[in-house]
Amino acid sequence: IGIMPYFTTLCVYFLMILNPVMTNTITEDIEVLVFLPQNNSFLFSYARVAPAIRYAQQKMKADGNQYSGFHFNIHFENSDCVNDALFTLLDRSCGQKPDLILGPVCEYEAAAVVRLASHWKIPVISAGALATGFGNKKTEFSHLTRIAPSYVKMAETFTAMFEHFTWKSALLVYEDDKEERNCYFTLEGVYHLMADYTIKTYQFSEEDPLNVDDILQNIYDIEVMIMCMGADKIREIMLAAHRRQLTSGNYMFFNVELFNSSSYGNGSWKRGDKYDNDARQAYASLNTVTLLRTVKPEFENFLIEMTKSIEKAGLNDCKDCGNVNMFVEGFHDAMLLYAIALHEAMKSGYSKKNGTEITSRMWNRTFEGIAGQVSMDVNGDRNGDFSLMAMTNVEAGAYEVVANYFGVNGTFQLLPAFNIDHFTLKGRHKEYPEMPDKACGLGVSALTGVIVGAVLGTVMLIAFYFFRKNYRITIERRTHGEECDSGKHRQLREDSIRSNFSAA
């Protein structure tokens, strides 16, 4: 007699707890394969990024919300930025294929993995694969979702500025390491998007001594110079430009610094040498495009946890490395985005094995990421927010964010520190001299073809790379054979060789 009401109460109580869970939670095991480099010289190494993935996993479990029924079996595999990820994916997929792939970040490695995964209809989410060619989601990159803003998204900042300030011409100067080619791909995004402007490119190889005279010779009929290279080389160029009186407002200088934004700013001109004073004055005309960082209260706890993990891994050897970067945030948010899409798809009766359906549900949507709102465009690429930094106090050599660009609505927002005078070209003729003949240049459509082809040709390239260790020498030799006076498009030609491979 005494037990029945007690039991009923207990049952009701139990149901009350279970009810929201039962109506919303879906239980599922998800096999996740993650490709991250063990090598800590990468900002997206295992030791830096894995804690963020685990953080997202644990948070979803602990929250007891609709995603707590998802059980992620996460397997971390090495990515060496060449072949490791592709071979591991092949080997592991002989048995059971993964339901989700996170990474790789490196462009060439990602191309191969994404191509195979798309063929198998497995969703891939990467905070890398930022090159322009990956934007082609019609065929071979169909299952790729890019959770960090690509280089083309970054380039929107430049088109917004060019429009706002009515600039017409740019010189793109970049250093090419011929391996990961981050600077090549960064400025490729700008080149791709700025088809309506007069664009000249100048590339030099890492090993070559910097020929500042040759570079600055190209600037005279140009308004804006956009650079991507190591900090010391930027300083060298800025010092040379200053000596030639190109830094008095008659030219605009920009550099792109996407992954190391926190360390950029005050003091980057400073080296403690006798050129510091000149460098400070030269940098008054150098502006930096960088990622816009947002912070919200939940981010604090994430930051503390990530810092702890990084310290535990013994990585706190430099100031910047402790910071949460775009890759760390991105892979955290990748877990959330997948969970949202999977939950929605399963509620609509699809299985986790329908990668096409899940992928399509990750695109064209906005959700709350760890550091703020994340907005994915209809093509499955994240819309990017970027900041423009400029020296606002030349005496102190101090930088500030003077404007922001919001990719989601294409707005270029000026901040109080913005000074129009700083961005007004001075002492220029209205007439622009004719461009030198472009016998050696590539048309935009040709370039686009080459670029798409380059990424498409990667599987062939990797095979070539693997079997012919001397591939670089081969290509170098071929390039030498080409009769091209300036040599400025050498790199593009190497790519066209790559795309010829893919066509073969």
The footprint of ligand NAG (CB under 6 A) covers: 39, 41, 43, 231, 260, 263, 265-266, 268, 320, 350, 354, 356-357, 364, 378, 396, 398-400, 406, 408-409, 411
Contact (CB, 8 A) for 71 and 94: no
Structure tokens at 382: 């994240």
Residue number, 174 or 501, with CB nearest to ligand NAG: 174
By C-alpha distance, which of 122, 42, 48, 138 is closest to 82? 42
* DSSP per-residue codes, 254-283: EEE--S-TTT-STTTT--SSTTHHHHHHHG
Structure tokens at 8: 């009923």
Q: H or E segment at 199? A: strand 198-205
Residue found under tokens 């920009």: 254
Report in angstroms how near the CB of residue 385 gets to ligand NAG at its nearest: 7
End-to-end CA distance of the chain: 85
Beta pairing partners, 171: 200, 225
Residue number, 260 or 502, with CB nearest to ligand NAG: 260
Residue found under tokens 């149901």: 15
Report in angstroms how near the CB of residue 175 gets to ligand NAG at its nearest: 14
Structure tokens at 307: 């810092």
* DSSP per-residue codes, 452-476: HHHHHTHHHHHHHHHH-TTHHHHHH
Contact (CB, 8 A) for 404 and 395: no
Report in angstroms how near the CB of residue 299 gets to ligand NAG at its nearest: 17
User: For 241, what's the count of Cα atoms within 13 Å in the CB-facing half-sphere?
Assistant: 30
By C-alpha distance, which of 386, 401, 418, 396 is closest to 267? 396
Residue number, 2 or 314, with CB nearest to ligand NAG: 314
Residue number, 149 or 453, with CB nearest to ligand NAG: 149
Residue number, 253 or 406, with CB nearest to ligand NAG: 406
Report in angstroms how near the CB of residue 250 gets to ligand NAG at its nearest: 26
Report in angstroms how near the CB of residue 234 gets to ligand NAG at its nearest: 9
Residue number, 109 or 223, with CB nearest to ligand NAG: 109
By C-alpha distance, which of 77, 81, 80, 95 is closest to 32? 77
CB proximity list for 439: less than 8 A, separation 6 or greater:
none
Residue number, 136 or 266, with CB nearest to ligand NAG: 266
Report in angstroms how near the CB of residue 161 gets to ligand NAG at its nearest: 16
Report in angstroms how near the CB of residue 331 gets to ligand NAG at its nearest: 17
Task: Tally Cβ neighbours within 10 Å of residue 230.
Answer: 13
Residue number, 119 or 168, with CB nearest to ligand NAG: 119
Structure tokens at 225: 């110079």
Taking the C-alpha atoms of residue 190 and residue 172, their distance in angstroms, rounded to an integer, is: 8
Report in angstroms how near the CB of residue 127 gets to ligand NAG at its nearest: 15
- Cα-Cα-Cα-Cα torsion 407, 117, 55, 331, nearest 10 degrees, comes to -30
Report in angstroms how near the CB of residue 266 gets to ligand NAG at its nearest: 4
Residue number, 222 or 229, with CB nearest to ligand NAG: 229
Residue number, 438 or 469, with CB nearest to ligand NAG: 469
Residue number, 44 or 167, with CB nearest to ligand NAG: 44
Taking the C-alpha atoms of residue 44 and residue 180, their distance in angstroms, rounded to an integer, is: 14
Report in angstroms how near the CB of residue 139 gets to ligand NAG at its nearest: 17
Residue number, 96 or 409, with CB nearest to ligand NAG: 409
By C-alpha distance, which of 222, 203, 128, 215 is closest to 492? 203
Report in angstroms how near the CB of residue 399 gets to ligand NAG at its nearest: 5
Report in angstroms how near the CB of residue 271 gets to ligand NAG at its nearest: 10
User: SS3 for 3?
Assistant: helix
Report in angstroms how near the CB of residue 421 gets to ligand NAG at its nearest: 20
Give, as one character, the DSSP assignment of residue 284. G
Going from the C-alpha of 186 to that of each of 163, 244, 285, 412, the distances in angstroms are 20, 28, 21, 20
Going from the C-alpha of 78 to that of each of 81, 216, 369, 394, the distances in angstroms are 9, 42, 26, 46
Residue number, 91 or 206, with CB nearest to ligand NAG: 206
Taking the C-alpha atoms of residue 416 and residue 418, their distance in angstroms, rounded to an integer, is: 5
